[in-house]
């Protein structure tokens, strides 16, 4: 039995015992879909790379190992998700989400399942498996309709853990004319046979990663045309390459900081997101940012985006990483989003990935120009 | 004039002159401006100014009143509203206002419950509800 099923079985009795004796159970469901298509038009690497990918190639989603190659492909960004909620009372709800991804050959996976208890109008406690709120769009990263790109900017949205098991406390704020939310979260995540690590260790490899002692908080404040967010978290990290017979590495602590700002003023759009991680105990630190500017016209949005990711590897680092494995790249894109209906859109994106990494990453991924498009729907 | 052109012009005319009324229970003494109504409908506030719980009701996407309400009160298109609520629904942070099919259903529920607030085409308003704003 996998971990998600165990969590579900653990949560159900709690939900039932917590509900009133005479259960007035109500149900709701919703869903989302992305049908994507794209290919790399040209790039600096050709043929099959060391990892086993056909190149020229460009990573569109690190966490799911979604990669566009030289041939037209629907898999990297396509997905279908269904979310169902069981309302045991006005205050108590169990929510589950299953997602079928093209990047996983459309296998259906139980993505989230959590119990939500609304303490009062301002406070909610959730327990179970949820998305780790590392970035502004983390929790909605599968719902393409809710953001302007075909896929989220890989320079910022590229991390090995996306979900966690644990609990969070969410508090709605009202500070004068400012509305907001504070979310405090804690838990752990063990990702067996990590897709993310296949991008480095090989498609045929098997690697596990573990984040334990996750503890963090985020605050979001909005007013009129502005929304800002700050996030800080820390955890211990461990990893192992199972296919090489490795045991878990020693625990090393990481601290992660995020900041973002969104402006939507008179149909002009500006977004910025900054990400910094301190992994001194393992190899060094990471810095990433995304900057976007765009304009909303009648029924369409045009957005220009530039992003950068830079890894700094310290000398004599415990992980024994060398400058050859250092990763640094930039991505510049233009995307046009057309509103098809109130609940669907079509986007087309042209982007240029420029690689300034050490020799290993540059020889295996390198520069790439990619054209991708997607039809997104929520229901 | 070509007769076919008259049809879209007729619809433009209707929308240009239609008004939306925001209605509450007659016993509700709240005074609400557009910003306060917007906060209730975007889930950023969950109570009336007197502190009592507020339950917003909406009409469907195809309703003319919804298009006017979205534009004049929420300052967003239908697509932006859908994206806003999709973000909250799929991240477990909120649920959108319950949608009803007709103005009359909104009027009926508002007239029965002091906690409920709704919007309808102004022509549908009757004495069972109180109008707190028109747009």
State pLDDT tens for residues A220-250. Answer: 999 989 999 999 999 999 999 999 999 999 9
Q: What is the pLDDT of residue B16?
A: 53
Which residues on chain A place their C-beta less than 8 Å from a C-beta of chain B?
28, 30, 32, 81, 83, 95, 97, 112, 114, 116, 121-122, 126, 130-131, 139-140, 142-143, 145-146, 170, 172, 174, 177, 179, 181, 222, 339, 341-343, 345, 378
Q: What is the mean pLDDT of residues A255-266?
A: 97
* Helix ranges, B1-135 (H): 3-17, 34-41, 64-72, 78-89, 103-112
pLDDT value at position B17?
60
- The chain B residues in contact with chain A (CB within 8 A) are 35, 39, 44-47, 53, 61, 77-79, 81-83, 86-87, 89-93, 95
The pair of three-digit structure tokens given for residue A231, joined into one six-digit string: 């996030």
Confidence band, pLDDT 50/70/90 cuts, at residue A158: confident
- The mean per-residue pLDDT over the stretch A305-312 comes to 97
Residue B32 token pair: 């609400």
Question: Distance between CA atoms of A307 and A290, rounded to whole angstroms?
Answer: 4
- pLDDT tens digits for range B53-88: 999 999 998 899 999 999 999 999 999 999 999 999
CA A117, CA A88: separation in Å to the nearest integer?
Answer: 10
What pLDDT is recorded for position A10?
52
Model confidence over A17-40: pLDDT tens digits? Answer: 444 444 557 888 999 999 999 999
Most A CBs within 10 Å, among B53, B90, B93, B115, to test the A interface: B90
Give the residue, A179 or A287, on which the prediction is more confident. A287
pLDDT of residue A331: 98
Phi, psi of A26, deg, nearest 5: -120, 155
Average pLDDT, chain A: 92
- Mean pLDDT of the residues in chain B: 88
**B-chain residue closest to A338, CA distance:** B79
> Environment class of residue A174 by beta-carbon count within 10 Å: exposed (0-12), middle (13-18) or buried (19+)?
middle
Chain B contact set for A341 (CB, 8 A): 79
Instruction: Please name the residue of chain A whose CA is at the shortest distance from the CA of residue B52.
Output: A121
What pLDDT is attached to residue A16?
A: 43
Q: Can you tell me which residue has the tokens 């697509």?
A: B79
Q: Record the pTM.
A: 0.88
Q: Helix (H, G, I), strand (E, B), or coil: what is residue B101? A: coil
Give mean pLDDT, residues B42-63: 91
Q: Kindly state the tokens that stand for B92.
A: 């477990």
Query: Quick check: A218 and A247 in contact, CB under 8 A?
Result: no
Give the mean pLDDT of A165-176: 93
Terminal-residue alpha carbon distance, chain A: 31
State ipTM. Answer: 0.83
The residue of chain A with its CA nearest to that of B70 is A342
């Amino acid at each position: 039995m996998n971990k998600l099923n165990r969590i579900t079985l653990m949560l159900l009795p709690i939900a039932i015992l917590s509900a009133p004796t005479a259960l007035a159970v109500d149900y709701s469901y919703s869903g989302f879909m992305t049908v994507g298509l794209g290919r790399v038009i040209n790039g600096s690497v050709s043929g099959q790379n060391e990892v086993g990918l056909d190149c020229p190639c460009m990573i569109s989603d690190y966490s799911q190992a979604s990669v566009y190659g030289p041939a037209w492909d629907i898999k990297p960004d396509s997905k279908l998700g269904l979310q169902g909620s069981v309302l045991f009372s006005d205050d108590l709800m169990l929510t589950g989400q299953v997602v079928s991804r093209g990047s996983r050959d459309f296998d259906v996976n139980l993505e989230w399942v959590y119990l939500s208890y609304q303490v009062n109008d301002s406070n909610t406690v959730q327990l179970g498996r949820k998305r780790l709120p590392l970035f502004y769009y983390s929790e909605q990263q599968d719902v393409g309709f809710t953001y302007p790109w075909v896929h989220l900017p890989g320079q910022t949205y590229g991390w090995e853990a996306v979900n966690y098991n644990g609990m969070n406390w969410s508090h709605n704020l009202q500070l004068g004319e400012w509305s907001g939310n504070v979310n405090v979260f804690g838990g752990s995540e063990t990702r067996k046979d990590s897709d993310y690590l296949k991008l480095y260790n090989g498609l045929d490899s098997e690697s596990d990663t573990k984040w334990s002692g996750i503890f963090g908080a985020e605050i979001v404040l909005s007013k009129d045309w502005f929304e800002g967010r700050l996030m800080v978290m820390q955890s211990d990290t461990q990893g192992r390459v199972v296919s090489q017979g490795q045991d878990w590495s020693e625990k090393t602590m990481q601290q992660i900081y995020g900041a973002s700002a969104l402006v939507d003023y008179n149909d002009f759009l500006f977004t910025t997101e900054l990400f910094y991680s301190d992994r001194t105990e393992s190899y060094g630190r990471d810095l990433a940012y995304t900057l976007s500017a765009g304009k909303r016209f009648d029924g369409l949005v045009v957005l220009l985006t530039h992003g950068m990711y830079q890894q700094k590897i310290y000398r004599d680092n415990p992980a024994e990483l060398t400058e050859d494995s250092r990763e640094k790249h930039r991505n510049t894109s233009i995307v046009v989003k057309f509103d098809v209906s109130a609940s669907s859109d079509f986007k087309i994106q042209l982007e240029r990935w420029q690689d300034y990494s050490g020799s290993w990453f540059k020889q295996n991924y390198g520069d790439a120009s990619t054209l991708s498009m997607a039809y997104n729907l929520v229901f | 004039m070509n007769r076919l052109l008259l049809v879209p012009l007729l619809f433009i005319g209707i929308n240009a002159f239609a008004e939306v009324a925001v209605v509450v229970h007659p016993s509700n003494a709240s005074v609400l401006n557009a910003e306060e109504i917007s906060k209730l409908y975007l889930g950023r506030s969950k109570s009336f100014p007197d502190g009592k719980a507020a339950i917003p009701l909406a009409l469907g996407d195809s309703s003319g009143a919804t298009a006017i309400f979205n534009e004049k009160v929420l300052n967003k298109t239908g697509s932006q509203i859908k994206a806003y609520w999709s973000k909250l629904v799929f991240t477990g942070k909120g649920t959108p206002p319950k949608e009803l099919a007709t103005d009359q259903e909104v009027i009926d529920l508002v007239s029965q419950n002091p906690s409920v607030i709704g919007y309808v085409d102004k022509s549908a308003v009757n004495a069972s509800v109180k109008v707190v704003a028109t747009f």
